[in-house]
Structure 1
Amino acid sequence: MGQVLKCISPVDGSVFAEREVLSREDAFAAAERARSAQAAWAARPLQERIDLVMAGVAAVGAMNDEIVPELAHMMGRPVRYGGEFGGFNERAGHMAQIAAESLADIEVGEDASFKRYIKRIPHGVVFVVAPWNYPYMTAINTVAPALIAGNTVVLKHATQTLLVGERMAQAFHSAGIPEDVFQNVFLDHDTTSELIARKAFNFVNFTGSVGGGQAMERAAAGTFTGVGTELGGKDPGYVMEDADLDAAVDTLIDGAMFNSGQCCCGIERIYVHESLFDAFLEKAIAIVKGYKLGNPLDAETTIGPMANVRFASEVRSQIAKAVEAGAVAHIETFAEDDGGAYLTPQILTNVTHDMRVMREESFGPVVGIMKVSSDEEAIQLMNDSDFGLTASLWTKDVARAQAVGDQIETGTVFMNRADYLDPGLCWTGCKDTGRGGGLSVIGYHNLTRPKSYHLKKVTG
């Protein structure tokens, strides 16, 4: 028997699911089947591919009553929040809606002598490596547009959410998408790297840790295989003196704590103008003290366990080191905090950028809050990071938000909102957050290649 992947449930530490990884030979065979199926899939009319993908999306929605508790078991999100189908459907639906225009030929010009245009050509086989924190929504970001554009897709999901890829494959196949066109696979790291290094795929999309992204790029080195990555984040919020205070507190603290802080674009550090700092802090503490930590299968639970004990251990370590260095922790340990996956959400003040909790990704329910006196100070602090995914600005002045936003090193600038992915906009990052972009018309451009036609007519 080969290596077995095990999903350890954060609810009680039990093995919730396990699957054996594919052998090297079976993995390469799966990739070859995807390659063999691609031309016929791309030859289907665009509308047919769109209809099949959206039927697959609807089939996932039909499973939602089973999916929601399954997610709670696998990664700890409380059932009260109802799963991910709303965003899953919104993202796929938007990409379906803009497909014809996004994939249309770019007409350069035609006259009596020449016809010139640029086509968007599918890469071929797209390999999607998806994370556990929003396992359906992050996967569909690439799966839907890749299939619609005429690629075949091989999906490898995170071990923590082992059953998600199976669910998606079952739904898409039931809707009529051929099994070789969309495959879910279980792979170990070595086989994954070898597949990439041996050019089994034409494009790789990875969402996960910085180390994981570096491993993908190393595997692809010299192959000229495109690699798109969305990696770590340390997303800031900045509350200006004219902000709607209640809205800023509610949104930023929710952005920091929802999903136990395990959000790609979660808020991990907040900078508040000195005139609002005390009021912001008081309101933030009251919100967090009102959370109910507990079993995610309990409808009363508002914050569940972190997905894995080792993730919680890292957050505890960051908090402890910060407090040792002078930070103030404002939330007393909850009775339900078991020292394992069940972790008390925490607000820290008197923090500095010398502390790990303000520099390294926490990916947990902790946020540091600092006082600032000017836009210039806030901009310097927001940019003092190795990451750049989103930034959330709070002001009534759109022009001011635009001016500040232009100076921030980030992929998305929010004003008066946070922690949301708009499928009409490119989802992208800079610095160690990675490169490339998903969704929007740019998502289609990244999942296809341009092919130019320069056709000289015979006129005589």
Structure 2
Amino acid sequence: MSMQSINPATEAVLATFEEHSWDQVERALVEADAAFRQWREVSFAERGALMHRAGALLRERKARYAALITAEMGKPIVEAEAEVEKCAWNCEYYADNAARFLADEAVATNASESYVAFDPLGVVLAIMPWNFPFWQVFRFAAPALMAGNTCVLKHASNVPQCALAIEEVFRDAGFPRGCFRTLLISGSAAERVIAHPLVRAVTLTGSDATGERVAAAAGAVIKKTVLELGGSDPFIVLADADLDAAVATGVRARCQNTGQSCIAAKRFIVEAAVADAFEQKFAAAVAALRVGDPMERETQVGPLARDDLRAALRRQVEASLAMGARLLTGGRPRPGRGYFYEPTVLAGVTPEMPVFREETFGPVAAVIRARDVEEALRLANDSPYGLGAALWTRDTERAKRLARRIEAGSVFVNGMVASDPRLPFGGVKRSGYGRELSRYGILEFVNIKTVWVGPAVQPVPEPQKVTAAVE
């Protein structure tokens, strides 16, 4: 079997790779396990120096790696450069903070000494998507490696060159052989890797359907998983919001990365009092976006990554229009070569329509009217997903109260949902479980170990006896 790298803007085949045989996979896993036995003993200072070097290489090679990202999955080049830069930041963040995050924690008990230690698990398999082909990997790999684990990557089959380039970064930075390996394998082969006894844990960023399969495969062999899955993020605009700011941010939140982001704003829930004005301003701003060659710096929206993704988006839009949605702009594939789809705004959307009920992975915005704040919250939570949410209002104290009622892993008030190394990232419901980034992310792939050192210096307190009152 082979996998192809195809430029989605031109449909040209860039490269073809043979999938790794099972013997090659087995050797890579053995190598990663052997590397772990040594890597776990390396000091945080030494690990951090190598991770800083990885960050420096990313910056030195930013132009080359960004061009590779754009060629393989179609992201506008300016956004691709920003993605590489963010990866470098993440490397530096964990290089500087991992030792503090994983320092032993003393706990006063009846022991002479007792504490909590944070030990690495071993080989961690990462199954990663194509939409942020560098960032999704470095978001996981930097904390996992700094914790003392080793990593094996199964990347999306349409970005094999990015997968190999990431392995190159860690190799050239001086990480020991086997610390980070890329496997060129199919999704079906990944389940066999999950079951391998040398793999200790699995992390996935992908669809909820893929999450079901990965969780089932890992559960069958009792292995830790972190799942960052799909999203249908609400972007709530209340009547007192700054409409111009909400529109400007909303356009970016929906159409960044050509709308192919799990945390993109997808459902624009607007209070009825300002809905007409919002729809007019929003549709005009979306229609003005520049669609074209993603290698041109002026381009704001590129192609979708694959033709089947464009077909799925077209189905969702056409089915929603047939159910009564109103087309404000866009609404069809762009003619000619490349997997382009016009930036689209649908109004009059209701909860039974595909653009509300399903995740839309492309530049399509659904606008839903809410009578009041309570209905806006109900609509926001009326989704199987719970990844991120944005809330726009001038009353920030009310916003903080309302944020508690939104069923999502993150709520951004008067801003765009985004991942940040300093903050935990993940979702609830069918958006997955576990967290990436911040201290919470690095704790996902360690053994949180209790260490009790005797002899006991005082007896363990006995539970108090409760005597029933006698009348």
**TM-score of Structure 1 vs Structure 2, range by shorter chain:** over 0.9
Distance in 1 (CA, whole Å) between partners of 2:382 and 2:37 is: 47
Cα distance, 1:85–1:152 mapped onto 2, change above 3 Å? same
How much has 1:335 moved relative to structure 2? Answer: 9.4
* SS of structure 2 residue aligned to 1:32: helix
Distance in 1 (CA, whole Å) between partners of 2:420 and 2:169 is: 25
Distance in 2 (CA, whole Å) between partners of 1:366 and 1:389 is: 18
Kept in 2, the 8 Å contact 1:387–1:431? The answer is yes
* SS of structure 2 residue aligned to 1:329: strand
**Range that drifts further, 137-146 or 273-282:** 273-282
Deviations 1:330-371 (A, max 9, x none): 114689544961110100001101101111011110011112
2:362 to 358, 364, 376: 364
Which aligned pairs between 1:149-298 and structure 2 lie closer than 5 A?
149-298=147-296
How much has 1:276 moved relative to structure 2? Answer: 1.5
Q: Does 1:69 align with 2:67?
A: yes
Kept in 2, the 8 Å contact 1:294–1:336? The answer is no
Kept in 1, the 8 Å contact 2:66–2:84? The answer is no
Which stretches in structure 1 are left out of the alignment for 5+ residues? none
Cα distance, 1:390–1:332 mapped onto 2, change above 3 Å? closer
Query: In the alignment, which residue of structure 2 is the partner of 1:108?
Result: 107
Partner letter of residue 117 of structure 2?
K
Query: In the alignment, which residue of structure 2 is the partner of 1:89?
Result: 88
* SS of structure 2 residue aligned to 1:301: coil
TM-score, with structure 2 as normaliser: 0.93
Distance in 2 (CA, whole Å) between partners of 1:49 and 1:80 is: 31
1:146 to 144, 147, 154: 144
Cα distance, 1:176–1:202 mapped onto 2, change above 3 Å? same
Kept in 2, the 8 Å contact 1:59–1:172? The answer is no
* SS of structure 2 residue aligned to 1:211: helix
Distance in 1 (CA, whole Å) between partners of 2:406 and 2:166 is: 37
Query: In the alignment, which residue of structure 1 is the partner of 2:468?
Result: none
Structure 1 vs Structure 2 CA RMSD? 1.8
Distance in 1 (CA, whole Å) between partners of 2:144 and 2:289 is: 39
Q: Does 1:408 align with 2:403?
A: no
Partner letter of residue 225 of structure 1?
K
Distance in 2 (CA, whole Å) between partners of 1:249 and 1:199 is: 51
Distance in 2 (CA, whole Å) between partners of 1:450 and 1:408 is: 30
How much has 1:17 moved relative to structure 2? Answer: 2.2
Which aligned pairs between 1:269-348 and structure 2 lie closer than 5 A?
269-332=267-330, 336-338=334-336, 341-348=339-346
* SS of structure 2 residue aligned to 1:221: helix
2:5 to 7, 12, 17: 7
Kept in 2, the 8 Å contact 1:28–1:200? The answer is no
Which stretches in structure 2 are left out of the alignment for 5+ residues? 458-471
Distance in 2 (CA, whole Å) between partners of 1:313 and 1:114 is: 65
How much has 1:421 moved relative to structure 2? Answer: 0.9
Distance in 1 (CA, whole Å) between partners of 2:20 and 2:333 is: 43
Q: Does 1:131 align with 2:129?
A: yes
Cα distance, 1:177–1:388 mapped onto 2, change above 3 Å? same
How much has 1:278 moved relative to structure 2? Answer: 1.4
1:58 to 51, 56, 59: 56
Deviations 1:111-162 (A, max 9, x none): 8x61100100101111111111111111111100000000011112112221
Which aligned pairs between 1:448-459 and structure 2 lie closer than 5 A?
448-457=446-455
* SS of structure 2 residue aligned to 1:159: coil
Aligned residues: 456
How much has 1:384 moved relative to structure 2? Answer: 0.5
2:437 to 436, 439, 444: 439
Partner letter of residue 91 of structure 1?
N
Distance in 1 (CA, whole Å) between partners of 2:208 and 2:332 is: 32
Cα distance, 1:16–1:397 mapped onto 2, change above 3 Å? same
TM-score, with structure 1 as normaliser: 0.95
Distance in 2 (CA, whole Å) between partners of 1:199 and 1:228 is: 18
How much has 1:96 moved relative to structure 2? Answer: 2.5
Distance in 1 (CA, whole Å) between partners of 2:80 and 2:322 is: 39
Distance in 1 (CA, whole Å) between partners of 2:347 and 2:419 is: 28
1:427 to 412, 425, 428: 425
Q: Identity, % of aligned pairs?
A: 32
Deviations 1:146-200 (A, max 9, x none): 0000001111211222111211211211111012111111112332111212333
Kept in 2, the 8 Å contact 1:145–1:443? The answer is yes
Kept in 2, the 8 Å contact 1:425–1:439? The answer is yes
Cα distance, 1:454–1:393 mapped onto 2, change above 3 Å? same
Distance in 2 (CA, whole Å) between partners of 1:33 and 1:332 is: 51
Distance in 1 (CA, whole Å) between partners of 2:185 and 2:222 is: 22
Distance in 2 (CA, whole Å) between partners of 1:448 and 1:457 is: 28
Cα distance, 1:420–1:108 mapped onto 2, change above 3 Å? same
Kept in 2, the 8 Å contact 1:75–1:160? The answer is yes
Distance in 2 (CA, whole Å) between partners of 1:405 and 1:101 is: 30
Q: Does 1:36 align with 2:15?
A: no
**Range that drifts further, 395-404 or 46-55:** 395-404
Partner letter of residue 189 of structure 1?
G
Kept in 2, the 8 Å contact 1:260–1:306? The answer is yes
Distance in 1 (CA, whole Å) between partners of 2:119 and 2:79 is: 39
Cα distance, 1:234–1:339 mapped onto 2, change above 3 Å? farther
**Range that drifts further, 182-191 or 359-368:** 182-191
Distance in 2 (CA, whole Å) between partners of 1:339 and 1:238 is: 36
Kept in 2, the 8 Å contact 1:173–1:179? The answer is yes
How much has 1:445 moved relative to structure 2? Answer: 1.1
Distance in 1 (CA, whole Å) between partners of 2:371 and 2:333 is: 37
Distance in 1 (CA, whole Å) between partners of 2:421 and 2:395 is: 25
Partner letter of residue 403 of structure 1?
R
Partner letter of residue 246 of structure 1?
D
Deviations 1:51-82 (A, max 9, x none): 10121122122211112222221111122435
How much has 1:88 moved relative to structure 2? Answer: 1.2
